[in-house]
Amino acid sequence: MARRVFYSFHYKEDNWRAAQVRNMGVVEGNAPVTDNEWESITRGGDQAIRNWIDEQLNGKSCTIVLIGTHTAGRKWINYEIEKSWNDGKGLLGIYIHNLQDREGRQSSKGSNPFDGFTMKRDGAKLSSIVKAYDPPYSVSTDVYAYIKRNLAAWVEEAIAIREKY
């Protein structure tokens, strides 16, 4: 049975790239929202967004942060990372800048979003615990194949790492 995961990503910039990963069928992810649904959720304000995220995270064993150029430091991605960690979920990142968007363009590599979190008990950066995978290819089809080939194992490893903390 496939693991149930939550995908965290910068919607406006990376929705096309994220859809490629979500549609691989390797793990079961949260259902995508349309632009209209997301606009409706965001019109409800911060609490509505928080409630939607919380509902989407419910029943998931791992959160996968799809890292694009401007993913790190975004308010709601930070919320998803913090909530996932605090709820005991596996957590991992995958750099998706070398996947092509709908116009066939790649983007520049973004910062590690886990660098922005410090562990209370020992002061270590979350990035020293949570793995962020950067596929070692520059051709989009090779990046896609690499992610698809490794995704299930990365999720299992992320869950095992989280269980140690």
Predicted confidence (pLDDT) per residue in 35-85, tens digit: 678 788 989 999 999 999 999 999 999 999 999 999 999 999 999 999 999
Domains of the chain: 4-163 (3.40.50.450)
pTM of the model: 0.94
pLDDT band at 4 (very low <50, low <70, confident <90, very high): very high
Residues 75-112 have pLDDT tens digits of 999 999 999 999 999 999 999 999 999 999 999 999 99
Burial of 99 (0-12, 13-18, 19+ CB in 10 A): buried
C-alpha atoms less than 13 angstroms from C-alpha of 162 in its C-beta half-sphere: 20
Q: Under a CB-based contact definition with an 8 Å cutoff, are residues 136 and 13 in contact?
A: no
What are 132's strand-pairing partners?
A: 93
